[in-house]
Amino acid sequence: MKGIILAGGRATRLRPLTKITSKQLLPVYNKPMIFYPLETLLRAGIRDILIIMAPDYAGHFLNLLGSGKDFNARFSYEIQDEPRGLADAFKVGENFIGDDNVTMILGDNIFDYDFTESIASFERGGKVFAKEVHDPERFGVVEFDEQKNVVSIEEKPESPKSRFAVVGIYIYDNNVIEHAKSLQPSARGEIEITDINNIYHEKNELKVELIDGIWEDAGTFDSLLAANNYWAKKAKEEGGQNG
C-alpha cells in the first residue's frame, strides 16, 4: 500500500496566513498541519509516501520533511502546477503508485481516528469514510439505505440527502489511475474525487465506513481554530504540551 498526501491548492480562503507559505504548513497547536495526515498514514503502517505540492512553496515542504528518514519512512515529492482537483493526485502520482494500491489523504484533513484496520483489511475496489456533520453541503455527501448500503454520493449538493460527509481519506485499488484519466472536469474546473467514488459505486466496488473521533478539514479560519483548540487540549491532557 502506497500513501499520498495531497497538499496542493492556493488556500485563498486563509489569506493572509497563506500569502507566504502553504496552508498545510500552518501550525496546528505544536506541529505543522501536514504532520497530522502524515501521522495518520504512518500510524496505519504506510511508509512509502508521496507528497503532492503546489509549486509556490514546494521548498518549504522539503525543508520540513526531507527524505523521510526522521520518520522511519520514504518520502517522494511531485508538483501539481495547477489545482486540477483531488482526483488529479492519481494522475500526478501514477509513476509513484506503480502497480500498488493507494491510500490518499488530504493535507488539511486532521483526524483523531485509527485507520490501521481499514487499511489492513482492504482488498480491492474503493473504500471511503463518512462522518455525520452539521454542514454536509460543504462536502461530498453519501446517502445510505436502511441496510447501510450506499445509495448515492453527491459533491456539495444544495439539498443534501443525508448529513454524512465523505471525509478526506480514500483507499483505492490500482484501477484508480485509469478511472482518474477517464474523468472530465466538473463545473468548478476540477476532476472530482466524488466522480471516482461514483465509478466504483456503479461497479458495486465501493465500501463506505463510518468513523468517529474528531475530523477537521482545516481550510477555514474557524475549522483551523477548532483543530488548534482540540489538539492543544488533547496534548495537555496527555501531559505532552512541552513536546
**CB nearest ligand G1P: which residue?**
140
Distances in Å between the Cα of 111 and the Cα atoms of 43, 82, 157 are 12, 26, 24
Does residue number 171 form part of the binding site for ligand G1P (CB under 6 A)? no
Question: Looking at beta carbons only, is 48 or 195 nearer to ligand G1P?
Answer: 195
All three cell numbers of 73, joined, read 519512512
Question: Looking at beta carbons only, is 57 or 170 nearer to ligand G1P?
Answer: 170
Q: Which stretch binds ligand G1P (CB under 6 A): 22-30, 143-151, 161-169, 231-239?
A: 161-169
Whether the CB-CB separation of 77 and 50 falls below 8 Å is answered with yes
Whether the CB-CB separation of 191 and 87 falls below 8 Å is answered with yes
Question: Looking at beta carbons only, is 48 or 108 nearer to ligand G1P?
Answer: 108
Residues numbered 99 to 138 that lie near ligand G1P (CB under 6 A) are 106, 109
The one among 88, 154, 155, 173 contacting ligand G1P by CB under 6 A: 155
Q: How far apart are CA 195 and CA 202, in angstroms?
A: 10
Does residue number 168 form part of the binding site for ligand G1P (CB under 6 A)? yes
Cβ count within 10 A of residue 145: 8
Q: How far apart are CA 3 and CA 203, in angstroms?
A: 24
The one among 193, 208, 224, 227 contacting ligand G1P by CB under 6 A: 193
Whether the CB-CB separation of 190 and 109 falls below 8 Å is answered with no
Cβ count within 10 A of residue 10: 14
Whether the CB-CB separation of 86 and 52 falls below 8 Å is answered with no
Question: Looking at beta carbons only, is 193 or 224 nearer to ligand G1P?
Answer: 193
Does residue number 217 form part of the binding site for ligand G1P (CB under 6 A)? yes
Residues binding ligand G1P (CB under 6 A): 86, 106, 109, 139-140, 155, 165-168, 192-194, 217
